[in-house]
């Protein structure tokens, strides 16, 4: 098996692990969404520090902390991904899995739009057409539902901002994630202390199995990123991005089949437009990747 094939397998595993988290968070419904998120952030930080120590990369992490510009960009990325994670946990535990998948579908295209607006990156006609279709889809979904799909937009925008800040920071995958969790973990820890002092914590009150599930939230966050890091060094970003679309596809399917969520035909039309936009975007990306640089 070639390194490229191993990378593809790692990329698929990464994506499927992310998608499977929609099956994990409902087991923690006895905890509040805030406690689930805070525990996830604290334990993700803990496991990232352990991973850096084992990999012998604590030195590069300290150098990253000393780079003011990069550290500030990653701090902004940390806020964005925390909002994204909070929204995803809320969506899974409040029967909004299908709409969460819409946010995941739109997020990469939002990243492209932000690159054009914030970084003045050139946009190809087919990319512009894909973004235009997403705008039409959001408008159609708004008309069909009688309200703006704020939840899906929040996931898409926070995910897009995360990609923008990460691109501008241009730091190592492990070190950058460790810094991001280090930024938000202290706030999460303070929340957990205050929450526990008020008598609301479920960390130990619901038994060892529940405690291990809360701790496991950190591993659920970190493990896919290990596979992503392996894949990213062996597979082109174009194909990695295409593989990444397995996550919202699986999330959408689970929302309809496993969680039995209802999706009106009028709302489905908006999803179809987003899928068409993704096909256009993917084909354009593959074609562009095959054109030799001049």
Residue 149 phi/psi, 5° resolution?
-75, 70
Q: What is the pLDDT of residue 49?
A: 94
Specify the pLDDT at position 174: 82
So what's the pLDDT on residue 248? 74
Give residue 78's pLDDT band: very low, low, confident or very high (50, 70, 90): very high
d(CA 120, CA 52): 35
Q: Which residue has the higher pLDDT, 21 or 173?
A: 21
> How high is the pLDDT of residue 69?
93
pLDDT digits (tens, 9 = 90+) for 253-265: 888 788 887 777 7
Q: Which H, E and C letters describe 4-16, residue by residue?
A: HHHHHHHHHHHHH
**What per-residue confidence (pLDDT) applies to 218?**
92
Has residue 23 got a pLDDT over 70? yes
pLDDT band at 266 (very low <50, low <70, confident <90, very high): low
pLDDT reported for residue 222 = 85
Model confidence over 164-198: pLDDT tens digits?
A: 888 788 777 788 889 999 999 999 999 999 999 99
The pLDDT tens digits for 38-74 are 999 999 999 999 999 998 999 999 999 999 999 999 9
Q: Is the pLDDT at 238 greater than 70, yes or no?
A: no
Tell me what pLDDT residue 32 has.
Answer: 94
By the 8 A CB rule, do 12 and 243 touch? yes
Q: Is 196 exposed, middle or buried (0-12, 13-18, 19+ CB in 10 A)?
A: middle
pTM to 2 decimals?
A: 0.79
- Average pLDDT in the chain: 82
């Amino acid at each position: 098996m070639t390194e490229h094939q191993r990378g593809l397998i790692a990329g698929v595993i990464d994506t499927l692990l992310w998608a499977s988290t929609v099956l994990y968070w409902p087991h923690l419904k006895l905890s509040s969404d805030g406690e689930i998120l805070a525990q996830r952030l604290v334990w993700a930080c803990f496991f990232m520090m352990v991973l850096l120590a084992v990999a012998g990369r604590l030195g590069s992490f300290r150098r990253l902390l000393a780079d003011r510009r990069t550290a500030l960009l990653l701090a902004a990325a940390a806020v964005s991904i925390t909002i994204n994670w909070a929204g995803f946990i809320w969506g899974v535990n409040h029967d909004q899995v299908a709409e969460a998948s819409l946010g995941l579908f739109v997020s990469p295209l939002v990243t492209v739009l932000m690159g054009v607006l914030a970084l003045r990156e050139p946009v190809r006609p087919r990319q512009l057409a894909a973004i235009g279709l997403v705008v039409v889809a959001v408008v159609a979904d708004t008309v069909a539902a009688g309200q703006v799909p704020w939840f899906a937009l929040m996931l898409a925008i926070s995910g897009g901002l995360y990609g923008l800040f990460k691109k501008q920071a241009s730091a190592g995958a492990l070190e950058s994630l460790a810094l991001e969790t280090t930024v938000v973990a202290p706030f999460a820890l303070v929340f957990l202390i205050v929450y526990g002092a008020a008598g609301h914590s479920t960390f130990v009150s619901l038994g060892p199995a529940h405690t291990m599930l809360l701790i496991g939230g950190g591993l659920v966050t970190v493990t896919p990123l290990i596979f992503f890091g392996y894949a990213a060094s062996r597979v082109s970003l174009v194909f990695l991005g295409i593989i990444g679309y397995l996550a919202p596809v699986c999330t959408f399917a689970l929302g309809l089949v496993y969680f039995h969520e209802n999706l009106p035909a009028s709302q489905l039309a908006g999803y179809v437009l987003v899928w068409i936009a993704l096909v256009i975007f993917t084909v354009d990306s593959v074609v562009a990747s095959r054109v030799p640089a001049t």
